[in-house]
Amino acid sequence: MSNDDDPQRPFARRYVGTEQSLDKSEQIASKLGFTMDREAVRHQARDLLSLYFSDIQKALPAICQHITFDDFATEHMDVFAHHADGQPGVFFDQHFSQWNFRINTTIVIFAFFDLTHSQMQDLGELLEKQLMQWHDPLMHEALREEEWPWVDGFVEAMPLANALSLAMDVFAMCHEIAHHHLKHLDVDMAIQHELEADALAYEFFLILQEKADRLQYAKLDAKVLVAPCLSFGYVDLLERWSAQQGGLQQVPESLTHPRGTQRRKALMDRYAHRWSAGARELYDVLNECLEDFSRGLGIAHIG
């Protein structure tokens, strides 16, 4: 991906599809037995997050039709609700979406492919670098080159990694929409607000899954109903890894948000009964992989 710079921001860019990146996408599609529409992918590479948000607005018109959406890549992993000139909006950093995809790809490869001991070690080292990207989003370019051999060598992992990433991005958007709907921006910030927004976001998420056949981009398969809880597992892993790196690597969101384990438990206690047996099996397999990575990297649990 190349970028279009935004002159109104000190550092803001929108990733767009280069010919080289489109060539790689075409290569993956060919290996998966698909014919890729190059121009459609070029368009989606630039606007995919906006297309997801538009689908959410179609599914939830009374809730968010009036909410604006903006996405750029910045120096921070920011996703937030805001008011600009009295207009409610959501900002979504493209680096956060890329982070979701790269963690999902690594976890899915580890979970579902027969790897050598050396490959497992290499994936563990790659995961550590991916966790570091949370603190240094501009690592994206270097990481992308290092990840390409894994993507190219394990293309069968891509459909599931993409589906999980889509679901995590959509849930994050729903979370910020929930903040607006609950009028959290009108009062002082409270950690409890995050749990309230998670719960309402999951209600929105369920509606989107039920309407999947009427949406074009934010199409959620029943199995990815586990994605929000899995994403909080990633946050938990990030928090534990960051704690071991010392104060310099503290996760800033930990000061204003509940821990990933608390958010995951709250959602699972309330909604895991909505998961199919296949979805629960997928969650258990991927969650166990997170624990395997934790043990392999010597990451301790936070008390």
22 domain residue, yes or no: no
Q: How confident is the model at residue 303 (pLDDT cuts 50, 70, 90)?
A: very low
Q: Does 16 fall in a domain?
A: no
Residue 105 maps to a domain: yes
| Rounded Cα–Cα distance for residues 80 and 78 (Å) | 6
Could you report the per-residue pLDDT of 1-22, keeping only the tens digit for each? 444 444 444 445 666 567 777 7
**Token output for 163:** 């589906």
Task: Judge whether 142 lies within some domain.
Answer: yes
Query: What mean pLDDT do residues 123-130 have?
Result: 94
Total number of domains in the chain: 1
Range of lowest pLDDT (19-28, 160-169, 271-280): 19-28
33 inside domain: no
Q: 41 in a domain, yes or no?
A: no
Query: Is 287 part of a structural domain of the chain?
Result: yes
DSSP assignment of 93-120 equals EHHHHHHHHHHHHHHHHHHHS---HHHH
Q: Would you call 246 helix, strand, or coil by DSSP?
A: coil
> What value does the mean pLDDT of the chain take?
89
Q: What is the tens place of the pLDDT at every residue in 149-163? A: 999 999 999 999 999
pLDDT per position as a tens digit, 137-151: 888 888 988 999 999
C-alpha atoms less than 13 angstroms from C-alpha of 193 in its C-beta half-sphere: 19
Average pLDDT for 45-63: 94
pLDDT at 214 over 90: yes
Using left for φ > 0, alpha for ψ between -120 and 50, and beta otherwise, residue 222 falls in: alpha
Dump pLDDT digits (tens) for 22-44.
Answer: 778 888 888 888 888 888 777 77
> Please, which pLDDT band fits residue 248 given cuts at 50, 70 and 90?
very low
Which of 3, 165, 161, 17 lies closest to 74, judged by CA? 3
Q: Is the pTM of this model over 0.75?
A: yes
Structural domain of 258: 47-296
Of residues 170 and 23, the one with the higher pLDDT is 170
The percent of residues in the chain predicted with pLDDT above 90, rounded, is: 66
3-state secondary structure of 72: strand
- With the C-alpha atoms ordered 82, 83, 88, 91, is the resulting torsion angle positive or negative? negative
Please state, in angstroms and as integers, the Cα–Cα distance from residue 57 to each residue in 170, 181, 193, following that order. Answer: 11, 13, 22
Q: Can you give the pLDDT at residue 67? A: 97
164 pLDDT above the threshold of 80: yes
pLDDT digits (tens, 9 = 90+) for 65-87: 999 999 988 888 889 999 988 89
How many Å apart are CA 303 and CA 300, to the nearest integer?
A: 9
Does residue 191 belong to any structural domain of this protein?
yes
What was the pLDDT predicted at 244?
Answer: 82
d(CA 42, CA 61): 28
**pLDDT over threshold 60, residue 283:** yes
